[in-house]
Structure 1
């Protein structure tokens, strides 16, 4: 049985969204360290460039930087990120379902 559980662990599926979220969290944690702990401007610039290169929304990163007080806590990060993504999805839904002046006729 240990072989099967080990194999299952290696073959377990991780969704694209989960992999993306892990990548965002790692970049945010690096950014917290470079900006707030090390005060390293050059490293911070490189991390921000990586965020831009990965097409990660700046607002998402800022939300994790300033709305999540414990960037080393994966549960807190996940809650803050899911809250942000939910707000973004609601806003998109509102924007795409706005009724024009004569559409009700």
Structure 2
């Protein structure tokens, strides 16, 4: 067994305790702590203050696409600033490495950089991105 000295106290390594299953009752429903749950399936129909929230696949996919699009727009803006406005070679290289590391579509970012005149305008960026999406899905 290994020992650890921490703030003047010696601690001995102990094996991990085995998981103990418990049967819990809450508001008339039984819950077992050893049951396997998929986090997405726990509450498919939530309601908060009378507003229903449905975790449908379309909504999850739409949310993922929206976050994906925001990532592309944000990174494109940073690239435009570094490459065109500041002419900072090292920062531009770092950002392109980030694009590659994250597995992003290089053609999509290039289209956003050169296909949109006003990178600060969200609507112009969205239009340019939708144009690219239409062309790439043909």
Normalised TM-score (structure 2) = 0.55
Structure 1, unpaired ranges of 5+: 5-12, 91-105
2:92 is the counterpart of 1:62: no
Over the aligned positions, Cα root-mean-square deviation in angstroms equals 1.9
Provide runs of 4+ in structure 1 moved above 6 Å.
Answer: none
Of 13, 26, 37, 2:85 maps to 37
* Counterpart-to-counterpart distance in 1, 2:119 and 2:102: 20
Looking at both structures, which has the greater relative contact order when contacts are Cα pairs under 8 Å and sequence separation is at least 6?
Answer: 1
Quote how far apart the aligned CAs of 1:54 are: 1.3
Deviations 1:25-76 (A, max 9, x none): 1100000110111110000000001111111111101100101111111100
Tell me, in whole angstroms, the C-alpha distance in 2 between the residues paired with 1:72 and 1:53. 25
- 1:16 is aligned, of 64, 72, 91, to 64
Structure holding more strand per residue: 2
CA distance in 2, matches of 1:17, 1:38: 30
Can you give the 5+ residue segments of structure 2 that lack an aligned partner in the other structure? 1-48, 50-59
1:76 is the counterpart of 2:124: yes
Equivalences, count: 81
Structure holding more helix per residue = 1
Aligned residue for 2:135?
Answer: 87
Name 1:100's counterpart in structure 2: none
TM-score by length of 1: 0.71
Cα distance in 2 between the residues matched to 1:62 and 1:15: 24
